[in-house]
C-alpha cells in the first residue's frame, strides 16, 4: 500500500474514532485547566460536541482545576469530574449568565444566576469522585456586590443522575430542581457554609425523586421539598441513609406550597448539631400536603425534632403581593422509631405541632420515640397560655419560625389545632428538673395518647395538660 493511501486510511480512522467517541476531554477543546484561566468556552464546546455526537461524557481530568462561569448541560451529556479534579466557579459575577430562569422565592432575585444550568433537557448526569467548588466566599459574592449565584439549577429536565461528587462553597443554594422528573441522587457530599442561604438539594414541583447515601453540611436547609406552581406537585420522594448537619433545618417540606406536596418517605437518617429543626413541615400557600412517613431517625442537638406549621403566607415570587391563597389541608403523617438526644441544649427543645384556628392538621401518628432533654422549665413557663398563633400580624411578612413563639409550656410535646392525633410509646427523660407538663394539647380532637413515660415512669392522664 502506498504511503499516501496509508496516510489517508489513518486520517479516516482518526476521523471515525473521533466521530464515535463517547469521552470529550475539555483539554482537547482548549481548556487551560490551570485554576486561573476562564475555561467556560472550552467546557461548553465539549458539551456541545458531546450532545451533537448523541451523548457521552465530558471529562474534567484528574489533577486539574477548570474555572468557568455559567455552563449549559444538554441532552445525553454526563459531566464526569474525575477523582482529584475540580470544576471551580468564577469569582466574577459577570461571568454568570442572566438566562438561567430565576429563584422562585419572593424578594431574592440576587440568587437568580447559577454555575451549571439545564432546561428542557433529557438524560443528563453529573458524576465522579471530584469536586465542584462554587467559589462562593463572601469576598466574591454578596447581594451588595450584585448577587450570589447558585451552583446548579435544572428546569423541566427528565432523567437526571447526580452521583458521588463533592459540592462545596456555593454562594447561595447548592442546587435548585424545578419541575423535573425521575431524579437519582446518590453518594454525594455537600459542604455549603461559606455564604448565606446555603441549601443543599431543593426540589420544587419534582416527581419520582430518590436521594440516598449522602452527607449534608449546610448553612441553611439541607433538603427542601416545595411546590411553587399549582400545576406542578412535589410527589413520590424517598430519602434514605443520609446524614444532616446544618445551621437551620435538616429537611424542610413546604413554605413554597402553591401545589400539592405528597407521597414522601424519609428513613434511616441521622441529624446532628442543627440550629432550628430536624423535620420542618410548613404549609402556607394553598396546596395540599399529605401522605408522608418518617421512620428510623436518630437526632442529636436538634431543638425541634419535628416542627409542623399550618399558616397563611406568600412565599412564591409569582404570587402578587397581598393575594393570599386559601389554605387547603395537611393530613396523614406518620413518625416512628425516633431517638433524640438534646441533653446539651437549653429548655427550648420540644416536638412542636401547630395547625391554625379553623385549619387543623389531621391524622398524625407519633410512636416509639426516645427523647432526652436538658429540662430547666420553670413554674412560670408551665403556666404560659399566650402561645402566639401564626397570624399575619405575628408573621409580619415573614415565615412561621419558632422564634416568634418562644418557650413552650411543655417539656416534650406541644400540639394544637390537630384533629386525629395518636401518640404511642413516647419516652421523655429530663436531665434536670422541669416544672412543665411533658405533653400539652390545645384544641386537639380525636386523640389517643398511650404509654407516655417521664423519666422511665408511665405518666397518668392528668399529667397531660389539655384544653
* Residue linked to cell 400545576: 231
Q: Is residue 180 over pLDDT 60?
A: yes
pLDDT recorded at residue 322: 74
C-alpha cell recorded at residue 364:
398524625
Q: If pLDDT is split at 50, 70 and 90, which confidence band does 17 have?
A: very low
Among 12, 17, 66, smallest CA distance to 39 is for: 66
pLDDT recorded at residue 321: 76
Summarised one tens digit per residue, pLDDT across range 146-163 is: 999 999 999 999 999 999
Q: How many residues does the structure list for the chain? A: 467
**Average confidence (pLDDT) over 190-199:** 97
Q: If pLDDT is split at 50, 70 and 90, which confidence band does 462 have?
A: confident
Q: Is residue 446 over pLDDT 90?
A: yes
* 237 and 215 Cβ atoms separated by less than 8 Å: no
Q: If pLDDT is split at 50, 70 and 90, which confidence band does 16 have?
A: very low
Q: Is residue 62 over pLDDT 80?
A: yes
Predicted TM-score of the model (pTM) = 0.94
- Give the range among 58-67, 233-242, 265-274, 313-322 with minimum mean pLDDT: 313-322
**Average confidence (pLDDT) over 282-301:** 97
* 65 and 35 Cβ atoms separated by less than 8 Å: yes
User: 28 in helix, strand or coil?
Assistant: helix
**Biggest CA pair distance of the chain:** 102
Q: Is residue 8 over pLDDT 50?
A: yes
pLDDT recorded at residue 320: 79
pLDDT recorded at residue 281: 98
Q: If pLDDT is split at 50, 70 and 90, which confidence band does 461 have?
A: confident
Q: Is residue 14 over pLDDT 60?
A: no
C-alpha cell recorded at residue 189:
457530599
Q: Is residue 19 over pLDDT 70?
A: no
**Average confidence (pLDDT) over 348-367:** 97
- Give the range among 73-87, 139-153, 313-327, 371-385 with minimum mean pLDDT: 313-327
**Average confidence (pLDDT) over 380-390:** 95
**Average confidence (pLDDT) over 324-349:** 96
Alpha helices in 33-108 (DSSP H): 40-52
**Calpha distance 165→114 (Å, rounded):** 18
**Average confidence (pLDDT) over 319-344:** 93
pLDDT recorded at residue 21: 61
Q: If pLDDT is split at 50, 70 and 90, which confidence band does 4 have?
A: low
C-alpha cell recorded at residue 441:
394539647
Among 253, 254, 187, 194, smallest CA distance to 216 is for: 187
Eight-class DSSP state of 359:
B
C-alpha cell recorded at residue 103:
429563584
* Pairing verdict, β 131-133 and 243-246: unpaired
SS3 of 283-332: ECCCCEEEEEEEEEEEEECCCEEEEEEECCCCCECCCCCCCCCCCCEEEE
Task: List the beta strands (DSSP E) in 43-90.
Answer: 56-60, 65-68, 71-72, 77-81, 86-89
Q: If pLDDT is split at 50, 70 and 90, which confidence band does 2 have?
A: low
Q: Could you give the percent of the chain with pLDDT greater than 90?
A: 92
**Average confidence (pLDDT) over 303-323:** 91
**Calpha distance 403→407 (Å, rounded):** 9
Q: Could you give the percent of the chain with pLDDT greater than 70?
A: 96
**Calpha distance 125→115 (Å, rounded):** 15
Average pLDDT, the chain: 95
Q: Is residue 242 over pLDDT 60?
A: yes
**Average confidence (pLDDT) over 42-58:** 98
Q: If pLDDT is split at 50, 70 and 90, which confidence band does 15 have?
A: very low
Q: Is residue 12 over pLDDT 70?
A: no
Amino acid at each position: 500500500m502506498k504511503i499516501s493511501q496509508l496516510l489517508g486510511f489513518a486520517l479516516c480512522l482518526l476521523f471515525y474514532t473521533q466521530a464515535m467517541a463517547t469521552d470529550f476531554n475539555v483539554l482537547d477543546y482548549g481548556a487551560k485547566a490551570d485554576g486561573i484561566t476562564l475555561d467556560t468556552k472550552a467546557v461548553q464546546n465539549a458539551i456541545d460536541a458531546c450532545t451533537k455526537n448523541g451523548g457521552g461524557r465530558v471529562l474534567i481530568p484528574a489533577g486539574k482545576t477548570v474555572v468557568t462561569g455559567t455552563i449549559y448541560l444538554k441532552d445525553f451529556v454526563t459531566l464526569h469530574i474525575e477523582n482529584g479534579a475540580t470544576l471551580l466557579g468564577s469569582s466574577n459575577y459577570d461571568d454568570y449568565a442572566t438566562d438561567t430562569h430565576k429563584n422562585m422565592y419572593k424578594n431574592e432575585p440576587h440568587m437568580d444566576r447559577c454555575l451549571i444550568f439545564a432546561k428542557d433537557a433529557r438524560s443528563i448526569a453529573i458524576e465522579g469522585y471530584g469536586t465542584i467548588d462554587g467559589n462562593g466566599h463572601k469576598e466574591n459574592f454578596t447581594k451588595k456586590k450584585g448577587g450570589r449565584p447558585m451552583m446548579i439549577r435544572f428546569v423541566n429536565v427528565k432523567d437526571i443522575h447526580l452521583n458521588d461528587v463533592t459540592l462545596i462553597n456555593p454562594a447561595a443554594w447548592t442546587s435548585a430542581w424545578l419541575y423535573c422528573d425521575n431524579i437519582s441522587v446518590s453518594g454525594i457530599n455537600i459542604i455549603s457554609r461559606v455564604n448565606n442561604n446555603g441549601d443543599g438539594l431543593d426540589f420544587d414541583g419534582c416527581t419520582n425523586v430518590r436521594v440516598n447515601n449522602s452527607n449534608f453540611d449546610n448553612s441553611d436547609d439541607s433538603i427542601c421539598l416545595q411546590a411553587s406552581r399549582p400545576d406542578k406537585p412535589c410527589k413520590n420522594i424517598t430519602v434514605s441513609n443520609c446524614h444532616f448537619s446544618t445551621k437551620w433545618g435538616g429537611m424542610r417540606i413546604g413554605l413554597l406550597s402553591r401545589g400539592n406536596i405528597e407521597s414522601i418517605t424519609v428513613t434511616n437518617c441521622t441529624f446532628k448539631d442543627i440550629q432550628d429543626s430536624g423535620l420542618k413541615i410548613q404549609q402556607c400557600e394553598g396546596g395540599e400536603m399529605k401522605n408522608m412517613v418518617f421512620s428510623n431517625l436518630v437526632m442529636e442537638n436538634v431543638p425541634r425534632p419535628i416542627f409542623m406549621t399550618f399558616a397563611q403566607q406568600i412565599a412564591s415570587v409569582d404570587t402578587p403581593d397581598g393575594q393570599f391563597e386559601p389554605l387547603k389541608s395537611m393530613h396523614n403523617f406518620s413518625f416512628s422509631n425516633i431517638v433524640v438526644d438534646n441533653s446539651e441544649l437549653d429548655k427550648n427543645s420540644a416536638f412542636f405541632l401547630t395547625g391554625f384556628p379553623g385549619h387543623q392538621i389531621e391524622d398524625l401518628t407519633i410512636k416509639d420515640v426516645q427523647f432526652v432533654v436538658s429540662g430547666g422549665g420553670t413554674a412560670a413557663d408551665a403556666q404560659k397560655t399566650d402561645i402566639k398563633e401564626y397570624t399575619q400580624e405575628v408573621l409580619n411578612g415573614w415565615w412561621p419560625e419558632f422564634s416568634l413563639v418562644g418557650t413552650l409550656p411543655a417539656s416534650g410535646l406541644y400540639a394544637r389545632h390537630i384533629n386525629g392525633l395518636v401518640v404511642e410509646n413516647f419516652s421523655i427523660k429530663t436531665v434536670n428538673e422541669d416544672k412543665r407538663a411533658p405533653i400539652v394539647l390545645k384544641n386537639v380532637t380525636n386523640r389517643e395518647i398511650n404509654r407516655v413515660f417521664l423519666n422511665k415512669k408511665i405518666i397518668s392522664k392528668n399529667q397531660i395538660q389539655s384544653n
